[in-house]
Amino acid sequence: MTPGQIVFSKRGRDKGKAMIVIATDGEYASLVDGNRRPLERPKKKKAKHIQITNNIINLMPPCGRALQDADIRKYLAGFDSMV
């Protein structure tokens, strides 16, 4: 797992939902989706509970401003649920 990688939740209330990794800490990843999990409150989830994809996004928007929840929602708009 690397920051910027798009993953799907395999367990829990958010099962099947696409999220973006913003940080990793050992076997845990901090995930955001821009809606229920904004950048201010990332979800901490174990690596065994997420399905990793090969899609990686750049966490720095091209105009030089800070990443916002709207950017996250835009990146995830094209991903269907894994259910």
Q: Which domains are seen in the chain, by residue range?
A: 5-76 (2.30.30)
pLDDT tier for residue 67 given thresholds of 50, 70 and 90: confident
| C-alpha–C-alpha distance, residues 44 and 61, integer Å | 24
The pTM score is 0.86
**Average pLDDT of the residues of the chain:** 89
pLDDT in tens, 29-48: 999 999 999 999 999 999 99
Report residue 23: phi and psi, to 5°.
-160, 155
| C-alpha–C-alpha distance, residues 59 and 25, integer Å | 18
Question: Residue 80 pLDDT more than 80?
Answer: no
Q: What is the pLDDT of residue 83?
A: 47
| C-alpha–C-alpha distance, residues 68 and 59, integer Å | 10
